[in-house]
Amino acid sequence: MFSKVLIANRGEIALRILRACKELGLKTVIVYSEADKNSLPVLLADEKVCIGPPKASDSYLNVASIISAAEITRADAVHPGYGFLAENPRFAEICENHGIKFIGPPAEIIRLMGDKQKARQTMKNAKLPIIPGSNEVVNSLREAKKIISSIGYPVMLKAVAGGGGKGMRIVHSSSQLEEAFQIAQAEAEASFGNPSLYIEKYLEDARHIEVQVIGDSTGKVVALAERECSVQRKHQKIIEETPSPAVNEKLRKKLLKDVEQAASAIGYQSLGTFEFLMDKDGNYYFMEANTRVQVEHPITEMIYDIDLVKEQIKIAGGEKISFDKNLEKRGHSIECRINAEDPENFTPSPGKIEFSALPGGPGIRIDTAIYSGYEIPPFYDSLIAKIIVHASNREEAINKMKVALETTTIVGIKTNIPLHLNILANSSFKKGDYNIRFMENFLKK
Ligand code: MV4
């Protein structure tokens, strides 16, 4: 096991990782940009190293600075959190080449999952259902037409190097294809330096569900109950819950068995998330896999009473997963992402938090790095806190979340709390009757 972990991230996840390290008796080093010098993780870490100016490309994405910081402080492991360098296989490799344990999957797994077409093909071979579409990258309009002639419209063009919604195009008819294909290729080239596309049948009115997996170096793999993530806008999740209101015990058993089997087949190690689209009939299709700890990991922790970040760190240190496949979940958990933004038009609302009073009590968890007097810098994403509730059933969890939101006071900036309260009061949401089109419809009214 390593003894000193460098945390290559900021905000709530840096604090989440810092606490896990402390509980494990590990020393902590935080790297930070000039904009984050007064942040809670910087104040609480054993050591801190400033790695550059506010812009992420000059600090949190600067591999040379982060490796130097690890060497100067003799950190022997790096936790990348989410975003930034978390899914960069080169970074994972460079850490390992410098004798620094990368707390995540091996670089080859990150690389495989980063190529969405390869990931799709690999998961197909591992017996996971995938959405009908191309079996290889599609490099010409002619190839695209050939594939579409067998699957039919509507289709989705996706960037092989994409993910999370970037560089995607829905195409409804052959008259739109040529233009969409060119735009998607150009976008993929501009965003990822790789124009390659793949094609899938476009699934309408699907749900976005995902399965947490955890694998250790002995080959043990455990899949945990699905998270329902269909409440999202512009590919940013807003509310997540587990279990999904659309998954029954029988379906869950099959889904988790499929995922365990597929993750085992590729020797998955560390935390990971397998994302699926699921139709009205409960057919699910693998879309992509994330090789990092996710923002919404706490809802899984709440229903299973486990600490995924501690597990992730221990596994990187060669330890075994501390629980078994038959681990039982209990009740229902919901997360609301609190963003510093105007709830009317979603524009960012950075600035000084003049005062804050956060909710608490049984079944309420707050993951945040804010404090009264803290200034939210304008350079990073707008997530400032996660309110997570746990109750014995969905109805009680929704009610508990409502009270938690109503008893939250944040003065000085705008937040999306009013939006959350409106969603929780929506009859479709209350019934659990929603899909990835929910926010689109919700905002129209
Ligand atoms: C899809 C899809 C429907 N059909 N692929 C969005 C994020 C990225 N992980 C893949 N995504 C989707 N892929 C096929 N074949 C629907 C989504 C999708 C979505 C699309 C439009 C608007 C909101 C969405 C929310 C979740 C998923």
The reported pLDDT for the residue numbered 367 is 98
3-class SS of residue 81: coil
* Low-confidence stretches of the chain (pLDDT beneath 70): none
CB 41 within 8 A of CB 14: yes
Could you tell me the fold of the domain covering 207-442?
D-amino Acid Aminotransferase; Chain A, domain 1 (3.30.470)
For residue 164 and ligand 1, the question of a CB distance below 6 A is answered with yes
Nearest CA to ligand 1 atom 19: 436
Dist. CA 315–CA 405, nearest whole Å: 35
Choosing from 158, 168, 240 the residue with most ligand 1 atoms within 8 A of its CB, the one to mutate for a pocket test is 168
Separation of CA 246 from chain center: 21
202 lines ligand 1 (CB under 6 A): yes
Residue 165 has a pLDDT of 73
> What is the tens place of the pLDDT at every residue in 42-82?
999 999 999 999 999 999 999 999 999 999 999 999 999 99
Place of tokens 């923002």: 295
Task: Fill in the amino acid letter for 276.
Answer: F
Tokens representing residue 214 in the block: 């955890």
Dist. CA 172 → ligand 1 center (Å): 15
| pLDDT at site 225 | 98
Q: What is the pLDDT of residues 154-168, one digit of tens each?
A: 999 999 998 777 779
Structure-derived torsion over alpha carbons of residues 289, 10, 85, 308, reported in degrees to the nearest 10: -40
Q: Identity (one letter) of the amino acid at 148?
A: I
Longest CA–CA span in the chain (Å) reads: 62
To the query of whether residue 16 is one of the catalytic residues in this protein, the response is no
Between helix 417-425 and helix 394-406 the angle, nearest 10°, is 150
Task: Give Rg (Cα) of the chain.
Answer: 21
Cα→Cα distances 179→152, 173, 240, 400, Å: 18, 11, 35, 48
- Give the CATH fold of the 4-103 domain: Rossmann fold (3.40.50)
Residue listed under structure tokens 């003049």 = 354
Domain boundaries, the chain: 4-103, 132-201, 207-442
Residue 298 three-state SS = helix
pLDDT for 273 equals: 98
- Per-residue tokens: 388: 């997570």
pTM of model > 0.95: yes
Does residue 11 contact residue 380 with C-beta atoms inside 8 Å? yes
Q: Is 210 in the pocket of ligand 1 (CB under 6 A)?
A: no
**Integer Cα distance of 237 and 208 in angstroms:** 10
Q: Is 277 in the pocket of ligand 1 (CB under 6 A)?
A: yes
Structure confidence at residue 377 (pLDDT): 98
Phi, psi angles (nearest 5°) of residue 291: -105, 30
pLDDT of residue 34: 98
pLDDT for position 27:
98
* Closest of 205, 172, 147 to residue 441, by C-alpha: 205
Alpha-carbon gap, residue 350 to 345, rounded angstroms? 14
Question: How many residues make up the chain in this entry?
Answer: 445
Helices (H) and strands (E) in the chain, counts: 15, 21
N-to-C CA span, the chain: 54
CB of 413 shorter than 6 A to ligand 1:
no
Residue tagged 């998954």 (tokens)? 247
How many angstroms separate the alpha carbon of residue 282 from the centre of ligand 1? Answer: 17
Question: How many angstroms separate the Cα of 86 from the Cα of each of 89, 95, 103, 412?
Answer: 8, 12, 9, 32
How distant is the alpha carbon of residue 208 from its chain centre? Answer: 12
Neighbours of 175 (CB within 10 A): 8
pLDDT recorded at residue 19: 98
Alpha-carbon distance 105 to 127, whole Å? 21
* For ligand 1, atom 12: residue with the closest CA: 165
The pLDDT, as a whole number, for residue 445 is: 78
CATH of domain 132-201: 3.30.1490.20
| Coil/strand/helix, residue 443 | helix
